[in-house]
């Protein structure tokens, strides 16, 4: 049990990486608070955990709202007495995200409100809880595009993930002496609803796959395993990192010719 006696709050836990991580963390002994703007989806995740013999609580949270972020942290401490793992995973990729000319201010603002402000607010209320628990691990979902950019224009998303990466590094430095580790998880292209809604033809999928050295999309469950490592004591000397789980795509684009 790699997370025995740990309490993990996971945002965006109703689907994708969040759901897979919630299920895995619970199987490894953590009590899980599954937070999602879609309460029904969060409840499904929590129900699946309880059905497998684990402990889980579902909460509704819009991570762009301070009151919701404060409430989800308070719910974790009230239900389980502490918070030791905070996984700021919730995020969006807007269908109308494009280049600097075509992307509207509304799309930009919404993307940053959830992807960046959501991480900030999670930490704003989560860090004091981790301090009260004597320390812990914060994991922020960034992306490989924060390092290499995206071939298909998605400026708001890419910029937001770059901000998450920078925020993670600074938080790691600030809180390193408090036994609080902060790392950015950077997934590559995944077979999740978030990406597949764009790659909705075989031709589009193949255009993306040709850039991935491993020749396939990653799975949410594989990212969950990386998150488990960052949440556990096995990564006790890891902080401020950009933890790439991308099938080699970043290496392919950053290797000198």
* Active site members: 157
What are the φ and ψ backbone dihedral angles of 158, each rounded to 5 degrees?
-60, -45
142, 186 Cβ separation under 8 angstroms: yes
128, 77 Cβ separation under 8 angstroms: no
Whole-angstrom distance, CA of residue 143 vs CA of residue 165: 8
DSSP state of 240: S
Whole-angstrom distance, CA of residue 248 vs CA of residue 49: 32
- Nearest of 113, 204, 100 to residue 153 by alpha carbon: 100
- Nearest of 32, 71, 36 to residue 48 by alpha carbon: 32
Residue 252 neighbours by CB under 8 Å, 6+ apart: 211, 212, 213
Residue tagged 């096995």 (tokens): 234
Which CA distances in Å does 19 have to 5, 136, 155, 170, 235? 20, 21, 27, 27, 22
Burial class (CB within 10 angstroms; exposed 0-12, middle 13-18, buried 19+) of 103: buried
């Amino acid at each position: 049990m790699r997370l025995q006696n740990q309490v993990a709050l996971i945002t965006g836990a109703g689907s994708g990486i969040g759901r897979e991580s919630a299920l895995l963390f619970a199987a490894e002994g953590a009590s899980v608070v599954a937070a999602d703007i879609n309460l029904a989806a969060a409840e499904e995740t929590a129900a699946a955990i309880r059905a497998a013999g684990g402990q889980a609580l579902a909460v509704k949270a819009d991570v762009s709202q301070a009151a919701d972020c404060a409430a989800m942290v308070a719910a974790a401490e009230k239900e389980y007495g502490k918070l030791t793992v905070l996984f700021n995973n919730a995020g969006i990729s807007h269908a109308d995200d494009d280049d600097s000319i075509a992307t509207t201010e509304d799309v930009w603002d919404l993307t940053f409100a959830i992807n960046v402000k959501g991480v900030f607010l999670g930490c704003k209320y989560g860090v004091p809880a981790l301090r009260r628990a004597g320390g812990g691990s914060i994991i922020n979902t960034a992306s490989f595009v924060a390092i290499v950019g995206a071939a298909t224009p998605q400026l708001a998303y890419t910029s937001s993930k770059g901000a998450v990466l920078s925020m993670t590094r600074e938080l790691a430095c600030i809180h390193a002496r408090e036994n609080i580790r902060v790392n950015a998880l950077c997934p590559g292209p995944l077979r999740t609803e978030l990406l597949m809604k764009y790659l909705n033809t075989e031709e589009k999928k193949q255009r993306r796959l040709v850039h991935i050295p491993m020749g396939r999309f990653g799975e949410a469950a594989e990212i969950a395993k990386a998150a488990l490592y960052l949440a556990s004591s096995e990564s006790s000397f890891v902080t401020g990192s950009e933890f790439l789980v991308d099938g080699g795509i970043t290496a392919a684009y950053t290797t000198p010719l």
